[in-house]
Every structure is written in C-alpha cells, then in structure tokens.
Amino acid sequence: MATLTIRNLDEAVRQRLRVKAAQHGRSMEAEVREILAAAVAESESKPELERGLGSRIHALFADVGGWDVDLPPRSGTHRPIDFGE
C-alpha cells in the first residue's frame, strides 16, 4: 500500500472532512480513501468526458436520427455588411 501526504490543507476543508468521516463512522483517513476511490471510479466510468463537446452532443442524439436540410447553392458573391454609416 502507498502512503500519501497532503500538505497545506485548508482548515475548513479538514474540519468538514472530520465531520463527514464521523457521519459515516470512519476515521478521517478512511474517509479520504473512500472519497479518492469514488472519484477515480467515477472518472473511469465516464469516458465520454474525454471527448469533445460536439462528440458528446452527437452521442446524446445519435439514436434520434438525423434530418436533411435543403440548402440553396452558394452564389460565390458576397454582399458587404451595411453598418448604417
């Protein structure tokens, strides 16, 4: 088993950790082990977070299907924007 030392832990965080550990009937060390194990398991169970936003949106709606949009052909000419000057 490895040992991990955490320095410069904010006192308010330490106090909340102590309370949380007591609520779960564990030592602070055991509580930290549970928190770390849960955080690692959560990140491993969500590999979609490693993809970009567009890929994640696509995955959400992939089962719905797509749609066809008829776009007019491009004319190749551009109109300048009139800013009312």
Domains in the chain: boundaries: 11-61
DSSP code of residue 47: G
Predicted local distance difference test score (pLDDT) of residue 44: 65
Taking only the tens of pLDDT, the chain with its 85 residues reads: 889 899 999 999 999 999 999 999 999 999 999 999 988 887 666 665 567 888 777 777 777 776 677 878 887 777 788 888 6
- Would you give the distance in Å from CA 27 to the centre of its chain? 29
Predicted local distance difference test score (pLDDT) of residue 20: 93
Contacts of 26 (CB under 8 A, 6+ apart): 34
Q: Identify the CA nearest to 6 among candidates 45, 24, 32.
A: 32
Predicted local distance difference test score (pLDDT) of residue 75: 78
Q: Which amino acid is at 1?
A: M
Predicted local distance difference test score (pLDDT) of residue 74: 80
